[in-house]
Amino acid sequence: MRVSTASPITRSIAIDHTIARLETLSQRQNVQLEKEHKGKRRQGKPPWPQGSRPARRIQEKINARRAAAQAIVDRIEAERLEHEAELEAERQILEQEKMLAEMEAWEKWESNGGGDSPPGSSRRWDAARNWMRKERVVQVHLQLDEECYVRLSVTASTLTPRRAARLHAAAERRTLAKLAEEEAERQRLAKEAEDARRYAALGTTRWVRADSDFNAVLIFAFLGSRGLSLDQGGWPLAQLLGQLSWQWRRTCLRWCEDVETLKLRAGLDWGACRWTSGVMAAIERTVPRLTHLELHGLDRKAFSGLELISSSLTILTLSGCTDVGPMLEATHFPRVHTLRIERCRDLTAEACRQIAKEWRLRSLRMEGSTVTRSLIISFSRALPSNAPLESIECTEPFPDDAIKAIAKTCPALCSIVLPISGPYAIREAARCFPRLQRLRLGLQAELPSVTKRTPCWTDTELQALAQGCPELSELHLADGRNGFTAMSGVGLATLPRLTDLSLANLPSPLAGDAMIESANALSELVHLNLSDCSIPDAGANSRMPSLIYVGSGSDDAMPGMADRVLAAFLRACSKLETLNVAGISQLTNSAVFKAVPIACTKLRHVDVGPGRKGGHEGRGLIDGKGLVPLVDACPQLRSLRLSSAMGTAARASADLITHAEREKAKRLAQEAMENLQDRLERAAWILLTLVE
């Protein structure tokens, strides 16, 4: 009893000591018996025979003592194992309690819509998630330490039947509570739908029942297409119109007859309206002028009946819809010329081939990870000869094989927007699309599935583009991460119709001679983006226009090549509205804007910030005093982005604010003088009138 009631450590030590003592006692008794037997031999007494009665008695005593000692040892060992099992059970119960508490915390965090960080997380990414599966609690622990090492551990613990029953009961109570909340929400939505149908049915006894059911739906869709939603006054307006009785039907029909663009969006954004299989039939009866249909989040059930209105549609937008492939395969759209597929699911290769062969598309936009390489190639290779396609936009990787196929079949292409493409995009554009007006390309060298060759853009390809596409007005070229581009800007001067030019983040340095020549030629330029480009001073020659600014202070540095390029654009591009030179480290602080007369007085947005690569190194165009001439010359300026450095931005802002206050004081004084002059003239006129 003393051992069983002691602490675990004392009990373990006592058990070990007892076992050792019993083993020692047994050994001593055996040794004593052996000594007695040997002593009889030494005294000359004959030993007991092997099978004699005394020998058997001695052997029985030895065996009995050994058995008794072994029984005691086994009993004590069994007690020790039982005690260790109890300790292990208590430890498992504590771990289960902790895991269940964490699981309940996760469920509570998820039911509340999440928060800043999940339960169990810290500054380092360290989170544990628990699940209960049948009679076990499973814990998955993911940890990301400061050295970016990831540790993943999975722990499973078996629950006792009583505890498992209690947890299942708690989970069932939570499920019932959640079902009760969903049922309450469903009843609320049903009540709103019933109110809408009741208002819609006032004075419409001679109207078709289907029209009465979908009347409120169409009104909500119309209000949404006009920028009104249920939260912005649409529902009170519908209730007010519902009280007008018979005038409700007349107003609804008049509105629906004028609707040309209709947006159908699934979810709670449209209140209690649920799109069912009859909504397309109601639209066909009540919206005869519908030409533009936008479907957001619809499925196969809501698509049924789309063939009733497909013959009148010219623009079709599918966003976040499912079962798109089967719907496009089963429905014919003879007049659709613009198709947008954004983040849709279940798009099939057969649907893409059918769109390319049977539809007379002029504009196509594809977005979302479900637009795969095989789907793009299926569409491109199925295009007929002399296809009327004029615009194509795809946000997913666009392979070179698809570019080559489109180049053979679409000579009328005017707009290409491919943010993830290979080198053949610019080559085929220069060779096969003489009517091209808009070209936005992104060279992605890290995607081997896009191109089989090493991606590279050169000045030769840019010159070929200028010769092959004389009507080009918008050009955006963005290089990928690996930086294989070898383009310096030579050839831009041969594109005089450019209104939007972006060479942002090109890894190769731009040639100053070519950029100044381009600035003098691009007089129609409206938007210019040279952010994160490099314009080094090397390569300057005597043909460069000299800019001299005489002043004092450290900001009056001699302008470099980047300053001269920017000055050329400011002097020659009088229609410029957007200027982005963020991240160009070669720009000086104040020599640029003070050295030349600024002709682009229509500037509205200017960015001289640090760019994507961080702050400027060395000199940088982040000086409020240097920006004052620009602010004076551009009265329509609306936004000006400075450096992200707190001190530099504060000084620049202070300089601009001081200048603005000074200009405001001058303007107020001038207005006061004009008012005083007007009063004096009025007083003189009154005096002359009195004299007469």
Q: What does each C-alpha distance from 26 to 19, 23, 29, 61, 492 come to in angstroms? A: 11, 5, 5, 11, 105
pLDDT tens for each residue of 104-130: 666 666 566 555 555 554 433 444 444
DSSP string for residues in 449-460 = TT-SS----BHH
Residue 415 pLDDT exceeds 90: yes
Residue 86 pLDDT exceeds 60: yes
> Is-contact 1 48, C-beta < 8 A?
no
Sorted by sequence, the CB contacts under 8 Å of residue 243 that are 6+ apart come out as 199, 202
**By C-alpha distance, which of 337, 253, 330 is closest to 291?**
337
What's residue 672's pLDDT? 52
pLDDT tens for each residue of 299-353: 888 888 888 888 999 999 998 888 899 999 999 899 999 999 998 988 999 999 9
Residue 93 pLDDT exceeds 80: no
What's residue 109's pLDDT? 60
Residue 541 pLDDT exceeds 60: no
Residue 177 pLDDT exceeds 80: yes
What's residue 564's pLDDT? 84
What's residue 551's pLDDT? 30
What's residue 314's pLDDT? 93
Residue 147 pLDDT exceeds 60: no
Q: What percent of the chain has pLDDT over 90?
A: 10
Kindly state the average pLDDT of the residues 345-362.
91
Beta strands 136-144; 125-133: pairing state? antiparallel
Q: How confident is the model at residue 5 (pLDDT cuts 50, 70, 90)?
A: very low
489 or 207: whose pLDDT is higher?
Answer: 489
What's residue 525's pLDDT? 92
Helix (H) or strand (E) holding 204: none
Helix (H) or strand (E) holding 591: helix 591-595
Judge if pTM exceeds 0.85: no
Residue 569 pLDDT exceeds 90: no
Kindly state the average pLDDT of the residues 462-491.
79
pLDDT tens for each residue of 226-260: 554 444 444 445 444 544 445 555 666 666 777 78
Residue 680 pLDDT exceeds 60: no
Residue 197 pLDDT exceeds 80: no
Question: CA–CA separation, 172 vs 158, rounded Å?
Answer: 20
Amino acid at 354: Q
Q: What percent of the chain has pLDDT over 70?
A: 55
What's residue 246's pLDDT? 52
> Is-contact 600 634, C-beta < 8 A?
yes
Q: How confident is the model at residue 389 (pLDDT cuts 50, 70, 90)?
A: very high
Kindly state the average pLDDT of the residues 361-385.
89
3-class SS of residue 685:
helix
234: which 2 tokens? 């649409």
Average pLDDT, the chain: 70
Question: How does DSSP classify residue 594?
Answer: H
3-class SS of residue 139:
strand
Residues in a beta bridge with 518: none
For residue 125, the tally of other CB atoms under 10 A from its CB is 13
Range with the lowest mean pLDDT among 478-487, 539-548, 663-672? 539-548
What's residue 36's pLDDT? 61
pLDDT tens for each residue of 583-615: 887 777 655 565 556 777 788 888 887 766 654
What's residue 528's pLDDT? 92
Task: Give the chain's length.
Answer: 692
413: which 2 tokens? 């292409």
274 or 29: whose pLDDT is higher?
Answer: 29
Kindly state the average pLDDT of the residues 462-484.
80
Question: CA–CA separation, 180 vs 395, rounded Å?
Answer: 43
Range with the lowest mean pLDDT among 92-101, 329-338, 566-575, 581-590? 92-101
400: which 2 tokens? 């070179």
What's residue 154's pLDDT? 57
What's residue 648's pLDDT? 46
Residue 502 pLDDT exceeds 80: yes
Kindly state the average pLDDT of the residues 447-456.
51
Kindly state the average pLDDT of the residues 531-540.
73
What's residue 353's pLDDT? 92
Helix, strand, coil tally for the chain in percent (to 5): 50, 15, 40
Range with the lowest mean pLDDT among 18-27, 64-73, 212-221, 510-519? 212-221
Q: How confident is the model at residue 445 (pLDDT cuts 50, 70, 90)?
A: low
Range with the lowest mean pLDDT among 58-67, 132-141, 525-534, 642-651? 642-651
**By C-alpha distance, which of 512, 554, 555, 517 is closest to 537?**
512
Question: How does DSSP classify residue 486?
Answer: B
Kindly state the average pLDDT of the residues 364-376.
87
Helix (H) or strand (E) holding 683: helix 646-691
444 or 526: whose pLDDT is higher?
Answer: 526
What's residue 119's pLDDT? 53
Kindly state the average pLDDT of the residues 145-151.
52
Sorted by sequence, the CB contacts under 8 Å of residue 173 that are 6+ apart come out as none
Amino acid at 15: I
Question: CA–CA separation, 524 vs 532, rounded Å?
Answer: 23
